[in-house]
Amino acid sequence: MSLKHRLMPLVAQLITSERLQNLRRHWLEWRRKLRRRPHQAVFYYRIDDPYSVLMAQVLPRFAEHFGITITPRVMLYLDQQMYPAADMLSELAPRDVAALAKLHDLQFPGDWQLPAREVSLAATRCLLRHEHDERFWSLASALADALWRDDHEQLESLLEEHGQQPADQAHLALEARRDQFLNDGHYLTATLHYGGEWYWSIERLDHLARRLEQLGLGGGVWPMSYDKAKTARLDGPAFDRDTAPELEFFFSFRSPYSYLALARTFALADHYQLDLTVRPVLPMVMRGLTVPRAKRFYILKDAAREARLHSVPFGRVCDPVGLGVEHCMALWPFAEKEGRLREWLLTAAAGIWSRGINVASEAGLRRLAEDAGLDWNRARRWLDDDQWRGQAEANRQRMMEAGSWGVPSFLTHGDMIWGQDRMAIVEQTLLDSIDNS
């Protein structure tokens, strides 16, 4: 085994260590008290980002409940290299947010229209002018509603009433903020920054809420269930096996979020007796898409806290990109033929993301194959068979045509749902199919 593969699990374990995270939190809290500063967070808001629109509805109540100050920081320009399929995201995100809004009883127009860039800029210039006003949140809500409903009359009325920051000042400020945002270590708007950590969208506010509660803030019931979308209730009736809908699960061995979704996806399929099809795809970097270092670093730490939430072992990571992924994919059809596909997926993914096993090596691959109940002497013959490549490409094309470019993604009844933190929405989509049948 190379030095890189020996060190990688140890480095990853340090990066994702809960103990080191807590030590850093204690240090930052001690420093905050020493300087006699209040609890403060910065919210990176972009009006043409639907996740920002939803977060802006939630944060005033969140801040009041926990007694913290949240300072909005208006954004618009982004580094496009962070978004490998920006056009697809612009179509998927509003649909996703509409489902989240329904789940959380929030507001987002069902008849949304993608806002034009020049209109978004006008609204952003207005918000820049009022960024430090107490009425920022209500103004942001009114502007976003008009923008996403494509209500030009209402938008013009708001802009006339509240004015805009001069165009040259706005351009300079927005470009500088984009660059500083990346330097600070993040890339997604709709993100809250508190005490050295990032919390993106509603589905990460539960982590911040628990952190603040440990500091003695808040108390009582949260204003809303921030983690509601993450977990299926599993309390609905099972489908008839002859008429059960198909659930397609797009999965990658290099995706930590795919690993986090595995057990919950199988539990969902088992409870509702679904026709589950797991569709493997190659990771983005093996499909010609880039994942910048800052993005990889955030994903690793974010996946670690999500893993702790769901009691999934995580942290000793050995990146399988390249030959390791190819090995895992090559054994896929053999495991399926042997009726051990579930065991292979769970074992291989856990080996990669929690045991630090190098699946690019024959020794590491053999260990996991045998742990999954596969006969190694028979399994190793499949390593020279490339039949999986055609299926992986077909799966990629199906995923892209359905509206997603990344994993984990779920497809059922023509609806594409993206993310391991959307299990409740996957479940609701399936249950709605019963009511509509």
DSSP, residue by residue, 117-166: HHHHHHHHHHHHHTTTSTTHHHHHHHHHHHHHTT-HHHHHHHHHHH----
Instruction: Name the amino acid, one letter, at 354.
Output: S
Tokens of 281: 């795809």
Which domains, and CATH codes, for the chain?
A: 38-227 (3.40.30.10), 231-436 (3.40.30.10)
Burial class (CB in 10 A: 0-12, 13-18, 19+), 386: exposed
Q: Indicate yes or no: pTM above 0.85.
A: yes
Q: CA torsion sign, 192 to 197 to 198 to 202?
A: negative
Q: How far is CA 55 from CA 287, 352, 391, in A?
A: 32, 34, 39
For every one of its 437 residues, what pLDDT tens digit does the chain have, with 9 covering 90 and above? 566 677 888 888 999 999 999 999 999 999 999 999 999 999 999 999 999 999 999 999 999 999 999 999 999 987 666 676 778 888 999 999 999 999 999 999 989 999 999 999 999 999 999 999 989 999 999 999 999 999 999 999 999 999 999 999 999 999 999 888 888 878 889 999 999 999 999 999 999 999 999 999 998 899 999 999 999 999 989 998 888 889 999 999 999 999 999 999 999 999 999 999 999 999 876 655 555 566 778 899 999 999 999 999 999 999 999 999 999 999 999 999 999 999 999 999 999 999 999 999 999 999 999 999 999 999 999 999 998 999 999 999 999 999 998 899 999 989 999 999 999 999 999 998 766 65
